[in-house]
Amino acid sequence: ADKYIELNNSERMPAIGLGTWRGDESGLLAQTIKTAVGLGYRHIDCAKIYGNQVEIGKALTEVDVPRKDLYIVSKIYENRHRPELVAGALDDILNELQLEYLDLLLMHWPHALKPEVTTMSFDSSDIDNVPIMDTWRAMEDLVSTGKVRSIGVSNFNQAILEKMIPQCRIVPAVNQIEIHPYNQAKELVKFCKTSGIAVTGYCPLGGTRVNVMNDDFIKHVAEAHVGTPAQVALSWALARGIAVIPKSTNELRLKQNLHQVTLTSDEMRMIGKIEKQERKVDPAREHKELEWVFHEDKMVCPVI
């Protein structure tokens, strides 16, 4: 629980965070946050669109840890990409979480949606044409307000980052992307590292759709270390210098996920080979127009 990832602005981010997407039924998430903080979690990964920041904010007022020891991340939803809406989007997040500042604010996705869209599902006609750099410049302006310590992005591919970086006054501190042994993002992680961008892996256990924890080799390594498949998946990402944000509502699993096993270089190499490029999350499954978000080889980003 005491591992950190150094960011390019001399801030540091706890390497293990608690994911909060689908915090399930009301009440359960608040309890999970309190249990997790009690166990030693300090990094909490939130987002406006998860629809549960009010509950998280309330739970955070009830934990026994000073604000400065917590690391709170949230994400601007795609319907607030127009530059004139960005500062208000941060204020809204701070208000919901009952916080004075965020440690890290991310642009949740590179694509924009029209301001009136408020749900996770949307129509193709809801896609907005806001250049990424317009949103990013508005995010850069937030840093000097003191309301956010670091800014970053999520679900950004290498092609977009390559175009973006030379135009940035502040290079993103973090890129949060889907990472687990079945979607290892080797090239993108390498690119981010050489560009000074830290990587956070979401869905580090694969979750329900991607069955990493049932992988025979992962299970074999887990047995060899008297650990669990989840510990192997998390330890593998952490050993690559990637932050992880697993979620669990179960106290035993929350605890387990804070404790790593030490993988051998052979095991790291072998896990490197079970890549399947199998994503849990891909907006292009529903919206062909968004193929450029992940399938950069097929399409050029239309908005930068």
Rounded Cα gap, residues 284 and 1, in angstroms:
35
Tell me how far, at minimum, the Cβ of 256 lies from ligand A2P, in Å. Answer: 5
The H-assigned helical ranges of the chain are 28-39, 53-61, 83-97, 132-143, 158-164, 186-194, 216-224, 229-239, 251-256, 265-271, 291-294
Rounded Cα gap, residues 272 and 266, in angstroms:
10
- Indicate the residue among 9 and 256 with the shorter CB distance to ligand A2P: 256
- Indicate the residue among 42 and 247 with the shorter CB distance to ligand A2P: 247
Amino acid at 187: E
Rounded Cα gap, residues 11 and 127, in angstroms:
34
Rounded Cα gap, residues 204 and 58, in angstroms:
27
Closest among 43, 44, 25, 115 to 78, alpha carbons compared: 115
Tell me how far, at minimum, the Cβ of 152 lies from ligand A2P, in Å. Answer: 19
Tell me how far, at minimum, the Cβ of 114 lies from ligand A2P, in Å. Answer: 29
Q: Is 50 a catalytic residue?
A: yes
Tell me how far, at minimum, the Cβ of 230 lies from ligand A2P, in Å. Answer: 3
CB 19 within 8 A of CB 246: yes
- Indicate the residue among 61 and 208 with the shorter CB distance to ligand A2P: 208
- Indicate the residue among 129 and 250 with the shorter CB distance to ligand A2P: 250
Report the 10 Å Cβ neighbour count for 208. Answer: 9
Rounded Cα gap, residues 304 and 186, in angstroms:
24
Tell me how far, at minimum, the Cβ of 20 lies from ligand A2P, in Å. Answer: 10
Identify the active-site residue in 4, 41, 50, 202: 50
Tell me how far, at minimum, the Cβ of 13 lies from ligand A2P, in Å. Answer: 17
Q: Is 60 helix (H, G, I), strand (E, B) or coil?
A: helix
- What residues make contact with ligand A2P under the rule CB under 6 A? 19, 203-207, 213, 228, 230, 246-250, 253, 256-257
Rounded Cα gap, residues 243 and 253, in angstroms:
18
How many residues appear in the chain? 304
- Indicate the residue among 253 and 287 with the shorter CB distance to ligand A2P: 253
- Indicate the residue among 8 and 211 with the shorter CB distance to ligand A2P: 211
Positions marked active-site: 50
